[in-house]
Amino acid sequence: MMHFIRRRKNRGFLGHDSSALTPEEEIDRQQLRFGINLNSWNLRIWAVAASGFLTGSYNLFATNVVYASIAFVYFPNERWPGLLMNATTLVGSIIGQVLFGFLADLFGRSNLYGVELVIVVISTLGLAFSGTGYQSMSFLGLFTFWRFVTGVGLGAEFITAEWSSTSARATMIATVFLMQPVGQALAQIVNVAVLLGRDQTHSLQDMRCGLDTKYEFECRQIIDGIWRIVIGVGAAPALIAILFRFFLPDSGLYNLEVRQRAKTALTNNVRVFGQPSRPFNAPNGTLSRTRTSASSDDDVADSSTPVQFSRKDLHRYFIRDGNWMYLLGAAATWFILDVALYGFGLDNRATIADLWATQYGTPIDSNLECWASPFPDGNSAVPGWIDGLPIWQTDRTRPCDTIYDVLLQQAKQYLITVSIGSLLGCICFVIFVNKIPRRQFLTSSFIFLTALFTVTGGVYYGVHHGPYAPTTAVLVGFCHFAFNFGANSLTFLIPAEIFPTAYRCFCHGVSAAAGKLGSVIAIFMVYGINTGYHSATKQGLVFLLFAFVGAIGAIFSWAYLPDIQIKVDGVLMNRDLEELSEGMLKARMQGQVFGIKEKWQGLRWRIRTKMNRGQTGGVSGVIQPMAELPA
């Protein structure tokens, strides 16, 4: 019995030369790659990943979309519940990303991703039905609990890299990531559609909801129904994704490299992609299609086989072979990106309204047309706002907007300022992802974003609350384009490519969790600035402060991430996952260097070489390869 258990343990890191594979398994892996590479694009695989990612994006950002409605109904004068909702969701996501990443590597991808979607469906319905009972429960406590559970479920990602051909891998992952801005925009559109529908059936505009207390109960009842519908709609794509995911087997690479089931790997490959259009020529010249596989599912690994997640294998991969640098590079760049992205607060409703404002806040006094109620027996709520507007009223220049007007205005400003730039950035990234050197472009992206946000902050100081204030909003839209054309997409893509199959989901989850940790830190920093610093130009300070944070990301991407592509006859070509998963030792053998010290020495050496060339008329002797540079 113990022999059977030991034989069935997952295999860990294959080594920098894949030496843990038997010669027969190496042939099988080549046949597997041959079959995958014959399929440049697989709609079924993309649909599985994209539907799940759309679900995650919609549900993650839906709370921001409906927060004004929730605040209107339950806590119109409290700012901190919004912070609590966002923080608990992100903390749940951190736990989910690490937990499901670990479990997906240990037990397989497909089943775990189906489970996480079931969690999302249940928690989404829990959110939609959150209430107070007969005044016996806390709405906020129940809502934040379900947001935490939703965050845990949203933590898992279905990584398409293992199912993708080498040439189409980056494009497929990029089109999956495109679902993030699509999900954000979809949440806004659904919110507007439900709002317009409720206005048609209940005449929201005529009741002056938020400005007058005559129909206060009816208004709260209607608005309470709106956000529940918007949240509940998020369960629909999850249900569709579940159907896809439960019927998709684990990838061939996972079955062969980790589970040591070569026959299953090749069989599943045929199930998904069909029979290859041409035969695989084995290295010995024979046709592999005359056999099922070179190795068998019943092969018994010897005692030297690395065991997944064992202390020995983790030490060998991360410490001895130095691949902690890969994880540091992936996690640190994602962390820094999300600190900057969430720090700027560019999806915050009040921030966006402030960017568009062409004047300072309108005084709350009897000169306002909404100061008195137009209803004979009505009572205006506006005189009670002298000490401050309610939380749902985010535009200080338009205090006479009803909740209906506010929701429409927020959607319009968000779609123009955030969604258009984000969508265009992701689309451009899909088009150019295979034409740019990804590691170098990530470094350049961080540097460019630092400069761009510095300029945006300077422009904000010059035009804020004046006739040219929308200039800043335009620049912010361009910032979102730059984010998604570069660092935001790349920090998701690169961790899906550079880690071995045995630890790919776990390392991707750790990297993503680092990003969410950065988000948590950023929202608390911004909350502190907003509550403790009352300058009318504080958003300019936020721009400049977090621009510096973004610059640090360039250092980590430059020093700790490998080259994912190689130039062949002047054309960039993707390295296959099998080569990338062999880790840093393999990359060093190819001439790459890692770490700030080595990178700096290499940079100095290249500068000196160019200077010597210039002094000697372009003749500098034999150029020392990077791999031979002193450590």
Of these ranges, 141-145, 286-290, 387-391, the one predicted with the greatest mean pLDDT is 141-145
> Residue 547: pLDDT band by 50, 70, 90 thresholds?
confident
- Specify the pLDDT at position 616: 63
| pLDDT of 209 strictly over 60 | yes
Beta strands (DSSP E) in 199-344 are none
| pLDDT of 301 strictly over 80 | no
| pLDDT of 300 strictly over 70 | no
The rounded percent of the chain whose pLDDT value lies above 70 is 91
Q: pLDDT tens digit string along 75-84?
A: 888 888 888 9
> Residue 246: pLDDT band by 50, 70, 90 thresholds?
low
When pLDDT is averaged across residues 579-607 and rounded to a whole number, the result is 89
| pLDDT of 292 strictly over 60 | no
Between 629 and 158, name the one with better pLDDT: 158
Give the pair of three-digit tokens for residue 88: 């608990």
| pLDDT of 227 strictly over 90 | yes
Q: pLDDT tens digit string along 342-390?
A: 877 655 777 888 888 888 888 998 899 999 999 988 899 999 998 888 9
CB 264 within 8 A of CB 25: no
CB 194 within 8 A of CB 226: yes
CB 119 within 8 A of CB 234: no
> Residue 156: pLDDT band by 50, 70, 90 thresholds?
low
When pLDDT is averaged across residues 56-75 and rounded to a whole number, the result is 89
Closest CA to 94 of 51, 49, 153: 153
Q: Helices 216-233 & 179-202, crossing angle to 10 degrees? A: 150
Q: Picking from 155-159, 219-223, 256-260, which range would have the lowest pLDDT averaged per residue?
A: 155-159
pTM of the model: 0.90
**209 has which bridge partners?**
212
Q: pLDDT tens digit string along 35-60?
A: 999 887 778 888 888 888 888 889 88
CB 169 within 8 A of CB 46: no
| pLDDT of 70 strictly over 90 | yes
Note the Cα 515 to chain centre separation in Å: 8
When pLDDT is averaged across residues 102-108 and rounded to a whole number, the result is 92
| pLDDT of 177 strictly over 90 | yes
CB atoms within 10 A of CB 84: 15
> Residue 225: pLDDT band by 50, 70, 90 thresholds?
very high
Closest CA to 231 of 142, 127, 144: 127
When pLDDT is averaged across residues 622-629 and rounded to a whole number, the result is 39
pLDDT, averaged across the chain: 86
Q: What burial class does residue 407 get, using C-beta atoms within 10 Å of its C-beta: 0-12 exposed, 13-18 middle, 19+ buried?
A: buried
When pLDDT is averaged across residues 614-626 and rounded to a whole number, the result is 48
Report the alpha-carbon distance of residue 18 to residue 326 in Å, rounded. Answer: 18
* SS3 label, residue 535: coil
- Specify the pLDDT at position 287: 42
When pLDDT is averaged across residues 493-504 and rounded to a whole number, the result is 95
> Residue 239: pLDDT band by 50, 70, 90 thresholds?
confident
Report the alpha-carbon distance of residue 442 to residue 488 in Å, rounded. Answer: 9
- Specify the pLDDT at position 627: 40
When pLDDT is averaged across residues 494-514 and rounded to a whole number, the result is 95
